[in-house]
A = this chain, B = another copy of it.
């Protein structure tokens, strides 16, 4: 957008349009909070000038198409200031009518308490959990450069974020800002709403960071704007930031609750309505005589013109795209395909090609999957929090500040930052993303994983070293509770494959899922291949519904998730091939007829082989035994006619609601060779067998 935009002769009254627009944003926000009797007026009132300056003079977007690939991204990392964002979206003509502003924070409105991706046109990501907006903005800015490296003809946009003090205190701000500096993301511009106030009071009660020096230490361009109401100064700083090849951090000094006579500059303005009296006095002081929820005509007209310029920008881009598509139809198709998250043909075949005979760790099976995917899925990018080799996610040369063409990203030892950046890349669009670390360190990235699920982003988390079998590294590195702690996150698909074939299937399920994240839970130790997986396809049967009168049966299959997982067939009897077809669960029955079954052993991942060995012994006892490998527990329905036993090297509490006997581990592990640690905690044929025999004996 030309710099001159707002200096066109739009001003039809003596009142300065900028001043009027800023006050519109301030009072729309305060009116929203007042109407809801809930929310945060202070941030919008203080940050309205910087937001207006950015949106009126710099942000390149077309409100008519919030999904335009080459738009600038705007992230309100200080998500509690949502009323400011909704005001901006309304003013500029996004599909967010004033009626929705009046329904701020009401059930079913498009104006939830914090910005939520997917609920409101123009909201680029869900924010509120502090610091993550900044990190997602880093991801978006990285995605822009990576897209530019692939499609320079189609890519020329920036990412802007407004962050608050809380964002900067959160550790994830360090991880993300450090990565942004390392990767020289010059198209990222961060405005800090430097209002010196947090919920509990003055920032200097808790934080004395020299933020400019800190960001300079990360390799950023930094600048202070001492008066956050000075639109010309903000504008000039933004212009300099755009010209700087480094990511930019602008400290814009503001007053929280600007204009509210009694509470401005205090924590009282942060998170409560101003109250009718205080709001009335603020309006009076500002000379604001309009009724609540008013957009002055002059402001509306200005914004319409600005939106029109954005529409022109998009029209130009569409023209360029048409030329590009004519000149390079295959690349244009690829661009569109990746943008639509459509998978190329041949993916399942490529994945199933990795299946072999030799035992190997599923992390290695997963590495083979990635190797197979690389040539056919160019939009797949990702990396590791410094465990690429260990987690089986080596993916070629890594992206650097002078080369964004590679598909691998060295995230550094920054799990949380990695996950939030992956969210940002995924939200940007055009890529499928994965990131890896040890399962035990899923705790470090959990807040971002939750946002993946809440935003419905198909981020693939590769989490290896998945049990106490990790061994010598000890309990700090041995997951115990982590599988269950992930399974309880709504909308997260958790898959724990047992061998090559299931790992390939897990990758297929992760990739075919486009509306939510997946966690692949993989072993450190070598696992056998379950031969029968590779037999010719067996007949598949429809899964049995859970017995209606079984204890807790109605809760066996968790209540509907926010988003459906991929295709079913994630529970496989050992002896049947896993498939992702037909929506049917592969439960072929190679061993015995269902009518004779007495014991059903259910296991996941590395414990499937243990279950198979135990089954042999039980059969020698005269039991009729089926072994089920459960890639995804939500797909498993127990056989109501059998005694069901789960075997998984993790917490048993939730399994206890699924099966009759849950064998697992509910305490921390120990340092020692993996097999010895497993034995110490009862994961041997003899220990498991003894527990099952006891159970069968007592159940008689």
CB distance from A503 to the nearest CB of B (A): 22
Residues of B within 8 A of A453 (CB): 668
Contact B413 A166 (CB under 8 A): yes
**Bound Cα distance A206, B408 (Å):** 12
**Bound Cα distance A651, B492 (Å):** 13
Binds B, one of A90-98, A334-342, A367-375, A655-663: A655-663
Please pick, from B182, B210, B491, the residue contacting A207 in the complex, using a CB distance under 8 A.
Answer: B182
Interface 1/0s, chain A 432-456, versus B by CB < 8 A?
A: 0000000011011011001101100
> Is A389 in the interface zone, CB < 8 Å from B?
yes
Please pick, from B217, B416, B658, the residue contacting A209 in the complex, using a CB distance under 8 A.
Answer: B217
> Is A23 in the interface zone, CB < 8 Å from B?
no
> Is A671 in the interface zone, CB < 8 Å from B?
yes
Contact B116 A205 (CB under 8 A): no
Residues of B within 8 A of A473 (CB): 113-114, 128
Contact B472 A39 (CB under 8 A): yes
Interface 1/0s, chain A 626-662, versus B by CB < 8 A?
A: 0000000000000000000000000111111111111
Interface 1/0s, chain A 550-593, versus B by CB < 8 A?
A: 11101110111110000000000000000000000000000000
Please pick, from B387, B400, B661, the residue contacting A554 in the complex, using a CB distance under 8 A.
Answer: B661
Contact A206 B182 (CB under 8 A): yes
> Is A618 in the interface zone, CB < 8 Å from B?
no
Contact A388 B476 (CB under 8 A): no
Interface 1/0s, chain A 23-58, versus B by CB < 8 A?
A: 000000000000010110000000000000000000
Contact B218 A214 (CB under 8 A): yes
Please pick, from B107, B653, B671, the residue contacting A670 in the complex, using a CB distance under 8 A.
Answer: B107
Please pick, from B173, B174, B552, the residue contacting A659 in the complex, using a CB distance under 8 A.
Answer: B552
Contact A454 B668 (CB under 8 A): yes
Residues of B within 8 A of A207 (CB): 178-179, 182, 412
Contact A668 B491 (CB under 8 A): yes
Residues of B within 8 A of A560 (CB): 666-667
Binds B, one of A4-12, A252-260, A351-359, A479-487: A479-487
Contact A441 B485 (CB under 8 A): no
User: Of residues 146 to 188 in A, which have CB atoms within 8 Å of B's CB atoms?
Assistant: 165-166, 169-175, 178-179, 181-182
> Is A145 in the interface zone, CB < 8 Å from B?
no
Known: A175-B171, A476-B454. A550 touches B548 (CB 8 A): no
Residues of B within 8 A of A216 (CB): 210, 213
User: Of residues 533 to 552 in A, which have CB atoms within 8 Å of B's CB atoms?
Assistant: 548-552
Binds B, one of A274-282, A325-333, A601-609, A673-681: A673-681
Residues of B within 8 A of A170 (CB): 171, 175, 413-414, 444
> Is A112 in the interface zone, CB < 8 Å from B?
yes
CB distance from A135 to the nearest CB of B (A): 9
> Is A488 in the interface zone, CB < 8 Å from B?
yes
In the complex formed, the residue of B with least CB distance to A116 is: B474
Please pick, from B205, B412, B656, B659, the residue contacting A410 in the complex, using a CB distance under 8 A.
Answer: B205
User: Of residues 684 to 700 in A, which have CB atoms within 8 Å of B's CB atoms?
Assistant: 695, 698-699
CB distance from A269 to the nearest CB of B (A): 14
Interface 1/0s, chain A 251-271, versus B by CB < 8 A?
A: 000000000000000000000
Please pick, from B36, B206, B548, B666, the residue contacting A412 in the complex, using a CB distance under 8 A.
Answer: B206
Main secondary structure of the interface of A (DSSP, over half): loop
> Is A87 in the interface zone, CB < 8 Å from B?
no
> Is A390 in the interface zone, CB < 8 Å from B?
yes
Known: A198-B386, A667-B561. A488 touches B171 (CB 8 A): no
Interface 1/0s, chain A 87-120, versus B by CB < 8 A?
A: 0000000000000000001111100111010000
CB distance from A545 to the nearest CB of B (A): 13
Contact B198 A181 (CB under 8 A): no
Please pick, from B39, B178, B552, the residue contacting A656 in the complex, using a CB distance under 8 A.
Answer: B552
Please pick, from B174, B206, B211, B488, the residue contacting A173 in the complex, using a CB distance under 8 A.
Answer: B174
> Is A66 in the interface zone, CB < 8 Å from B?
no
> Is A200 in the interface zone, CB < 8 Å from B?
yes
User: Of residues 122 to 149 in A, which have CB atoms within 8 Å of B's CB atoms?
Assistant: 126-130
Contact B657 A413 (CB under 8 A): no
Contact B387 A199 (CB under 8 A): yes
Interface 1/0s, chain A 459-484, versus B by CB < 8 A?
A: 00000000000011111110011001
Contact B488 A672 (CB under 8 A): no
Contact A38 B472 (CB under 8 A): yes
Contact B106 A673 (CB under 8 A): yes
**Bound Cα distance A550, B659 (Å):** 11
Which residues on A are within 8 Å of B, measured CB to CB?
36, 38-39, 79, 105-109, 112-114, 116, 126-130, 165-166, 169-175, 178-179, 181-182, 198-201, 205-211, 213-214, 216-219, 384, 386-390, 398, 400, 410-414, 416-417, 440-441, 443-444, 446-447, 450-451, 453-454, 471-477, 480-481, 484-485, 487-491, 548-552, 554-556, 558-562, 651-662, 664-668, 670-673, 676-677, 680, 695, 698-699
User: What are 27 A-B contacts defined by CB distance under 8 Å?
Assistant: A36-B472, A38-B472, A105-B672, A107-B680, A112-B475, A113-B472, A113-B473, A116-B475, A127-B476, A165-B413, A171-B171, A171-B172, A171-B174, A178-B207, A179-B206, A200-B410, A205-B410, A206-B411, A206-B414, A207-B412, A210-B216, A210-B218, A481-B490, A552-B661, A552-B662, A559-B666, A653-B657
Q: Report the 10 A-B pairs with minimum CB-CB distance, sorted nearest first.
A: A171-B171, A107-B672, A656-B657, A657-B657, A206-B412, A112-B671, A174-B174, A555-B656, A128-B476, A213-B217
